[in-house]
Structure 1
Amino acid sequence: MKAFIKLEDVTHVYSNGVAAVQNVNLEIKEGEIVAILGSNGSGKTTLVKHFNGLLKPTSGRVLVNGMDTRKEKIAKISSLVGYVFQNPNHQIFLPTVREELYYGCKNLKMPREEVEKRVRKAIEIFELDGLLDTNPFDLNYSKRKEIAMASIMAISPDVIVLDEPTTGQDHRGCKRVLDLVRLLHSHGHIVVLITHDMQLVGELNCRVVVMNRGKVIADNQADMVFTNHELMEIAGLQPPQVTELASNLPYLNKEKTYLTIDSIIQWFKNKKKNSRVEGVNIATGTRS
């Protein structure tokens, strides 16, 4: 797969002297969902803000679709990498949902026909037809988050960054975020998540990049990262609760990583099916 975003020896030092990112080499490729993990202060948000030019590297370089972010305007890079902020109130500012959806495309001076096409697609995907004339601030927090996502999707960037998308969400909202991530990915977007939500990452079992003290200390699939106990401890992270639960269930295959409840249920179904074939009672381990 082609690398759409490429970081080469990137270091970022803030004006107060804090080196938030140190000598990072990283590629984000077409067709990927990538979760950037790390404890508070690990550098993950600073790192990702380099993806669309919100921050420029102190040293090293960032290439987005071959363009050096130090040499391009933020607006040009933002048309390729859309950033959905953690708090939708920091992103939404217009009086109607309709205006929010049109704003980004118009700001980039897209042809009118193209604007209509992209906005219509966002409306359909996020099911916003009945809310277009509503003030976003009259909607609940979860829906405002969706409006923020939809406004970025309307621009149709190659990459969509979601900063802590499940923060402040109830169970239903978290499930909706999971569905939307999969939906965005299915429509051809590279999706980058900055998140503390291990359950979300577990459900996706996507590529995981772990940050600690400004450096990348792991880059692998979630099921591989979450079973590396030493690594998780260094990063100050906990695996999904279901993964910890599974490690204490004696019947489960200890060579397999369980990231979701469904994966455990499926194991029991398969075991039960095989036990019936073999004439073994799964509850007692005795032959019938």
Structure 2
Amino acid sequence: MNSIEIKNLSFSYTAGNDVLKGIDLTLNGAATAIVGQNGAGKSTFVKLLKGLIVPTEGEIVLNGKNTKDYTVASLAKEIGLVFQNPNDQVFKNTVISEVMFGPLNIGMDEQDAREKSMEALRKVKLDEYVDTNPYDLSLSERKMIAIASILAMDPNIVIFDEPTMGQDHEGKETLKEIIYELRNQGKLVLCILHDMDFAAEVFERTIVFNQGRVQIEGPTRDIFKQKDILHQAYLEQPIVAQIAEVLGVAGSYVTEKEVVSAAGACHDPNFVE
């Protein structure tokens, strides 16, 4: 099982102005959503995990080894990060060369890199655009290309930064399939999200950041029923939880189907709570 242990992690861009303060977490197994308002420290946190910046204090231990002891290349093989803005990541002239860049850069031979890249493009449903310039495609499609470029590298840990932004229903369904498949392969999946509904439906664990600290973390069902704590972090409950409250249905729900089923049971004259 892939794991990341975070011990007393702090970071500041300028002295005396901490962006993250004393983070202690263990990440393993469960697909995990990372939520919080803008400026809460989420993006800084995943940049630290990826090794793009170095902790001011504390340490990050990846599969038993401190990330300080990894080379940039070896860490790139272990952790893949899909940026929020694909324009910060996409730079090649064709889709296939963009997706192959990562695998080639970590030492795959060209044949394996192409095979992995085509497999990844099929997963994001863009394999028909191999010779297209990425900037001739839409922003949401470029986002999928950025995802494919990380999938093709086959890292043990995959981090997504706001993957649902700009995606329609079909795009979100594709993302769900990808996340479920990664999880079933035993990979650790982390995802920064503002989309509470997607977080509730897809992720087993949720971490709430607030002002550079972890305000609360645990099973997603437990986190999203705690309305007052979420409001302290300037977050809203998922729509399904709000609907359940309006309907007067007690409990913790992460899908519309669960709420409908519970509401029906509560209004069944034979139902006994």
TM norm structure 2:
0.91
Does the 8 A contact of 1:3 with 1:27 survive in 2?
no
**1:198-237 alignment to 2 at 5 Å?**
198-237=196-235
Amino acid across the alignment from 1:13: S
1:105 CA displacement: 1.0
**1:163-178 alignment to 2 at 5 Å?**
163-178=161-176
Q: 1:100 to 1:188 in 2, by over 3 A?
A: farther
Does the 8 A contact of 2:159 with 2:190 survive in 1?
yes
- Specify the alignment match of 2:261 in structure 1: 266
Q: 1:125 to 1:173 in 2, by over 3 A?
A: closer
Give the Cα separation in 2 of the matches to 1:193 and 1:39.
Answer: 14
1:281 CA displacement: 8.4
CA RMSD across the alignment: 2.1
Does the 8 A contact of 1:6 with 1:62 survive in 2?
yes
1:121 aligns with 2:119: yes
> Between the two proteins, what is the percent identity of the paired residues?
33
Structure number, greater radius of gyration:
1
- Specify the alignment match of 2:252 in structure 1: 257
Question: Structure 1: where are the runs of 5+ without partners?
Answer: 283-288
Higher RCO by CA contacts (8 Å cutoff, separation 6 or greater): 2
Does the 8 A contact of 2:99 with 2:152 survive in 1?
yes
1:203 CA displacement: 0.9
1:48 CA displacement: 1.3
Give the Cα separation in 2 of the matches to 1:122 and 1:37.
Answer: 27
Does the 8 A contact of 2:34 with 2:190 survive in 1?
yes
Q: Can you list the C-alpha shifts for 1:34-67, whole angstroms capped at 9, x where unaligned?
A: 1111111111111111111011111111112223
1:104 aligns with 2:102: yes
Amino acid across the alignment from 1:45: S
**1:1-288 alignment to 2 at 5 Å?**
2=1, 4-15=3-14, 17-29=16-28, 31-250=29-248, 252=249, 254=250, 256-268=251-263, 275=268, 280=269
Question: Structure 2: where are the runs of 5+ without partners?
Answer: none
Does the 8 A contact of 1:64 with 1:77 survive in 2?
no
Does the 8 A contact of 2:2 with 2:157 survive in 1?
no
1:266 CA displacement: 2.9
